[in-house]
């Protein structure tokens, strides 16, 4: 599972932050790593350098083998809270989608 980071000009793309964010994503999505080829992380600040509430946005786009990408987002006051929220949403989506796929495969096997 490859993780690619994209940030706007107001958010620092420091390697230290990327390493921490990568470990948060990898730990949270570990059970799905065989199904995910790439995750794109888009961090942005809607207000630029101005202060604001819930102005940091994290968009996660997961590329699954043989499937269309899944995208989720979360707004929060900080980068790590936005990333954690988006990761939680992605985990829930992947659980649902991959569960349905497994159910279909079981049904197809039973019918043969």
pTM for this one?
0.83
Cβ–Cβ contacts within 10 Å for residue 65, how many? 8
- Taking only the tens place, the pLDDT of each residue in 73-112 is 999 988 899 999 999 999 999 999 988 888 877 777 777 6
CB 75 within 8 A of CB 56: yes
- Cβ–Cβ under 8 Å, residues 30 and 66: no
Measured between its terminal Cα atoms, the distance across the chain in Å is 33
User: How many other CB atoms are there within 10 angstroms of residue 74's CB atom?
Assistant: 20
Tens of pLDDT, residues 15-66: 677 888 999 999 999 999 999 999 999 999 877 666 666 679 999 999 998 8
């Amino acid at each position: 599972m490859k993780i690619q980071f994209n940030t706007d000009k107001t958010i620092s793309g420091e390697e230290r932050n990327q390493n921490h964010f990568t470990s948060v994503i990898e730990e949270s999505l570990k059970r799905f790593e065989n199904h995910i080829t790439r995750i794109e992380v888009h961090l942005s600040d809607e207000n630029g350098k101005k202060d604001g509430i819930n102005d940091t946005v994290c968009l996660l786009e997961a590329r699954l083998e043989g499937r269309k990408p899944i995208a989720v987002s979360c707004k929060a006051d900080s980068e790590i809270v936005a990333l954690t929220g988006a990761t939680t949403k992605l985990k829930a989506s992947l659980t649902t989608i991959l569960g349905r796929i497994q159910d279909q495969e079981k049904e197809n096997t039973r019918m043969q």
